[in-house]
Amino acid sequence: MPPFFSLPHIEDSPKHIRVLLGGKYVIDTKQAKLVWEHTYYPVYFFRQTDIEKEYLDFKSDVGDSAVYDVVVGQKRAKEAAKSYSMGQLAGLIKLDFGAMDSWFEEDEEIFIHPKDPYKRVDVAQSSRHVRVEVSGVEVANTRAPRFLYETGLPVRTYIPKTDCRLDLLVTSDLKTGCPYKGFAQYYHVQVSPGKKVDNIVWWYDAPNLECAGIRGYVAFYDEKVDVWVDGQKQERPKSKWS
């Protein structure tokens, strides 16, 4: 979100938003609000009248808000709704994104959380020389990187797998999701028989359309590895976001 906004920041959403739970749309509105409760990304809030009272089972009062289970038939999302009565959020209700079955903007299903309309992601092919070392062992060396520029985050370098030491990459069970890029899989790096560095490499086998250029390429956590670009060692970024 732009730095000149104060929190919470509230905007009207122009999109038709539907939220599915237990086979029913508990939200179906064209008057949703995008709300930034923190600087990282927005969430959807709704008018309290946008959800039928029959779907809400009151659980407790917490400060200026009331907490509800969301119930559809036998399906219960525990403490998944919070209704506000004071301040800028008065009259609004928020649903836990992950507790619902599906979310739709217009007819497109969305995942993880809504996208920030003030953020963009660009992928650029480059011929710069990039080397990556983990604990002094070279694990990648390429002249065909793709740089991913995401507003407010460090530049990420995606490298063809064929330019990596694939013999050192060990498949991880970790998976994470990003609404801009899609769902990522991870590798550990086995730098020696007795030393493995966990989950410092990720990749997307089916990235979202706007990031299709990184398909099959791998990225290393710059915060945890040593990187040289055109012979110059890079400072490790402080951000932990991928």
Percent of all residues in the chain with a pLDDT value above 90, rounded to a whole number: 91
Which tens digits make up the pLDDT trace of 183-198?
999 999 999 999 999 9
What is the model's pLDDT at position 62? Answer: 86
Average pLDDT value for residue range 99-122: 96
Lowest mean pLDDT across 4-18, 129-143, 165-179 = 4-18
Q: Mark 78-99 as b/e (b = at least 16 C-beta within 10 Å).
A: eebbbbbeeeebeebbbbebee
Q: Which amino acid is at 122?
A: D
What is the SS3 string spanning the chain?
CCCCCCCCEEEECCCCEEEEECCEEEEEECCCEEEECCCCCCEEEEEHHHCCHHHEEEEEEECCEEEEEEEECCEEEEEEEEEECCHHHCCEEEECHHHCCEEEECCEEECCCCCCCCCCEEEEECCCCEEEEECCEEEEEECCCEEEEECCCCCEEEECHHHECHHHEEEEEEEEEECCCEEEEEEEEEEECCEEEEEEEEEECCCCHHHHHHECCEEECCCCCEEEECCEECCCCCCCCC
What domains can you pick out in the chain, each with its CATH number? 9-110 (2.170.150.40), 121-233 (2.170.150.40)
What is the model's pLDDT at position 1? Answer: 62
What is the model's pLDDT at position 4? Answer: 65
What is the model's pLDDT at position 238? Answer: 77
What is the model's pLDDT at position 237? Answer: 85
> Is residue 145's pLDDT more than 80?
yes
Which tens digits make up the pLDDT trace of 60-93?
998 889 999 999 999 999 999 999 999 999 999 9
What is the model's pLDDT at position 5? Answer: 82
Which tens digits make up the pLDDT trace of 22-45?
999 999 999 999 999 998 899 999
What Rg do the C-alpha atoms of the chain give, in angstroms? Answer: 22
Separation CA 14–CA 218 (nearest Å): 36
> Is residue 240's pLDDT more than 60?
no
What is the model's pLDDT at position 152? Answer: 87
What is the model's pLDDT at position 239? Answer: 58
Residues 6+ apart with CB under 8 A from 100: 19, 20, 21, 26, 70, 77, 80
Mean pLDDT of the residues in the chain: 95
Phi, psi values for residue 184, rounded to 5°:
-100, 145
